[in-house]
Structure 1
C-alpha cells in the first residue's frame, strides 16, 4: 500500500532461517487500522523470497503462523519486470486461458480470484468513486497518502513511497479505477488522457479474514501479478473501497463471490509503468 515497504528481514545463518516481520513504523493507522494491508504487503514480499530461493536452487519452506511451497523458479524473471501501471490499457479482452492460469495461481496460495462481469465492474467503479469522494471531504483521510507520496525533487531521491513519476496521467475520460495520488497538489507535466471504459477487474479473496489469511492473500497477490507479467499483462491495484469498513463488504460479488475480498486488481494490455524505488538492503536486513 502506497509503496511503504512495511517489512524487515533477519537472517539467522546458523539455522539457515530468514525471518520476515512487519515494520510497525511503516504502518498506516488511519487507512489500515487493523494492519490488513501491511500483512498483505509482507505476504507479497514473502512470495518473492520463495521465488528467489527457488531460482538459486534452494527448497524454501515457508511457515506463516505455516504453508509449504512448490516449484517457483520460472517466475523469478518477472520480479524485476513487474510494476504497477497507472496508465490506460487497451480495450482488448483477456483470453480465457490466461484468466484460468491466474485463477490457478491464486488457488495455489490458498486464495480465490474472480473476474467480474460488466454489471459488478460498474458497482466496483462506483465504490471507488465513493471512497474518493469521502477522501475529498475529510482531509484526515489523506494523511497516510500525503505521507507516502513523493513530489518534486524528493521523487528523484526517494527510496520508498510513490514518486510523482509513477502517478500516471489524470483521467480525462473512461472508467478505470485510478486513485489520484496527487489530489489537489500540482504535478508538473502530468497531463490527462482517456482510460478504458470497460476495465478488466478481478477480486482476490480468502476464506477467512485473519492475519494468516492476509499473509496468504499477499502471497497469492504476488503470484498472480508475476504470472500476469509473464503473460504480458499490465496490472494495477486498488484498495480504496477496501479501506472503509462499510464499503468493503459491498465489493464482494453477491452472486458468485466467496470469502473476504482482500484486493481489487485491474489487468489489461498496455504500458507496464515505471519502476518505483526500493530501500537499500542494509535498511531491511539484519544478519546474525
Structure 2
C-alpha cells in the first residue's frame, strides 16, 4: 500500500528545525521544496544570499546548507521518519543541493543516534563571549571526533604549535581586511544595528556581537567592523583557546555539504556535553590561507571550519526567517 503524503504541519516543523542551523553571517542561504506525492523534501541554495566577496566559490554557503540538512535529518528521526538523503541529485541543477525522502521508520525502528540530538537543535547558539581556561575532557573530544566521522569528515584538535599557526592565520586575515576597503562589504550587509536588530529575521544582530576583545588569543570576529556600536564593553578572552579543525578529504560541493553535516553533528554533540561553541572561517575565506591551516605533519585534508570550544555562556539565539518564506509546497 502506498504511503500517505506527509501533512503540511509536519513538513513545516521539519523545516523550522532545519533552519535553526548556523550559516555564515546568519545569511540562511537555503530554500526548501516539498514534493508531496513523493514524500521528498528538496534543499536548494538561495543565490540571493550568497557572499561574492567573502565566499566567492560558495563554499560557506554549501556548509551552511549542509548544517541545515543535518538538522532536517535529526528532526525527521525525532518524528519517527527514516530520512534517505541524496546529495546533488541533479547535476544539471547545481542549486538543488539535496533530496531527502521521508518514509516511515523501517521495521518500526527510528535512528536513535540522530533522534537523541534533537533537543540540542534549539539549545545550540553561537557564543562570542570569553570561555573559561578549562580543558575539554578527552572523552568529550572523542565523542566529537566520532560525530564528525559519522558524516565523512575529520575533527582534529591541533597541538600548541599548530594552534598558534591557525591563530596567526586568523590575525593575517584580519590584517588583510584592514588593508582592503571593500573587505567588510558582506559583513555590513549581514549585520543588524540599532532598531533593525529588534525586527531582524536574518543576519547577526548587535546583541549577538559579544564584547570587544581587550586581551587574549581567542579567534572572535568583531562584527561591528569599522562602525561604532554602543554599550558592548571590552573584556579579556582566553589565552589558550581550545580549537578544533573540521576537514574533508576532497574540496568540492559534495565535500562542503558533508562538512556542513559533520559540523552541525559536532555542534549538537558539544551542546549536549554543555560546551559553548563558536565558529570562525575568517582565515579560511582565502584559499591560500586555508591550505596553510592543514595539519603540518600529514599535510592532507581540506580544512573547512575552525571551531572554538569551551565552558561559558552559550550566547543569545539569533533570528530566523519565517518558514513560509523558505518553504514551497508542490
What is the TM-score normalised by the length of structure 2? 0.85
CA distance in 1, matches of 2:322, 2:205: 17
Query: How much does 1:65 deviate?
Result: 2.6
Is the contact between residue 10 and residue 20 of structure 1 (CA under 8 Å) also seen in structure 2?
A: yes
Distance 2:296 2:311 in 1: 28
- Give the structure 1 partner of residue 55 of structure 2: 32
* 2:73 equivalent in structure 1: 50
- What whole-Å deviation, never above 9, does each CA across 1:44-76 have from its counterpart, x for those lacking one? 000000000000010111111379995410000
| Counterpart-to-counterpart distance in 2, 1:35 and 1:181 | 20
Match in the other structure for 1:202: 244
Equivalent residue of 1:246, what SS? Answer: helix
Moved more, 124-133 or 104-113: 124-133
Question: 2:292 maps to what in 1?
Answer: 250
Aligned counterpart for 1:193 among listed residues 232, 235, 242: 235
Counterpart of 1:65 in structure 2 is 88
| Preserved contact between residue 162 and residue 296 of structure 2 (Cα < 8 Å) | no
Aligned residues: 288
- Match for 1:138 among 177, 180, 183? 180
Considering Cα pairs closer than 8 Å and 6+ residues apart, tell me whether 1 or 2 has the greater RCO: 1
- Once the two structures are TM-superposed, the CA of residue 258 in structure 1 deviates from its matched residue by 3.3
SS at match of 1:180: coil
Which residue number in structure 2 is paired with residue 153 of structure 1?
195
The answer for the alignment partner of 2:163 in structure 1 is 121
Deviations 1:122-152 (A, max 9, x none): 1111111110111111121111111000011
Pairwise CA distance, 1:256:
4.5
**Root-mean-square deviation over aligned CA pairs:** 1.4
Of 66-75 and 186-195, the range deviating more from structure 2: 66-75
- Pair 1:176-2:218 in alignment: yes
Q: Does the 8 A contact of 2:25 with 2:187 survive in 1?
A: yes
Work out the CA distance in 1 between the residues paired with 2:297 and 2:316.
37
Q: Is the CA contact 2:216–2:238 (under 8 Å) kept in the aligned structure 1?
A: yes
- Measure, in 2, the Cα distance between the counterparts of 1:254 and 1:209: 18
Larger radius of gyration: 2
CA–CA distance in structure 2, aligned partners of residues 139 and 75 of structure 1: 42
Higher mean displacement: 247-256 or 85-94: 247-256
Q: SS at the partner of 1:222?
A: helix
Q: State the distance in 2 between where 1:226 and 1:77 align.
A: 9
1:272 aligns with 2:314: yes
- After superposition, give the CA deviation of every residue in 1:153-202 in whole Å (9 maximum; x if it has no partner): 10110000000010110000100001111012111110000000000000
CA distance in 2: counterparts of 1:117 and 1:54, whole angstroms = 36
Q: Which runs of 5+ in 1 are unaligned?
A: none
Please list, as runs of the form range in 1=range in 2, the aligned pairs for 1:212-223 lying within 5 A after superposition: 212-223=254-265
Aligned to 2:27: 4
Q: Please state whether the residue corresponding to 2:116 is helix, strand or coil.
A: helix
CA distance in structure 1 between the partners assigned to 2:310 and 2:299 by the alignment: 22
Secondary structure at the counterpart of residue 227 of structure 2: coil
Q: Counterpart in 2 of 1:20?
A: 43
2:208 corresponds to 1:166:
yes
Counterpart-to-counterpart distance in 2, 1:136 and 1:20: 36
- Counterpart selection for 2:139 from 91, 97, 110: 97
Moved over 6 A (4+): 66-69
SS in 2 for 1:171: strand
- Distance in 2 between residues matched to 1:240 and 1:257, nearest whole Å: 20
Per the alignment, in what secondary structure is the counterpart of residue 42 of structure 1?
helix
Q: Is the 8 A contact 1:206 1:262 kept in 2?
A: yes
Distance in 2 between residues matched to 1:163 and 1:197, nearest whole Å: 27
Q: Retained in 2: the 8 A contact 1:234–1:270?
A: yes
Under a length normalisation based on structure 1, what TM-score does the superposition of the two structures give? 0.98
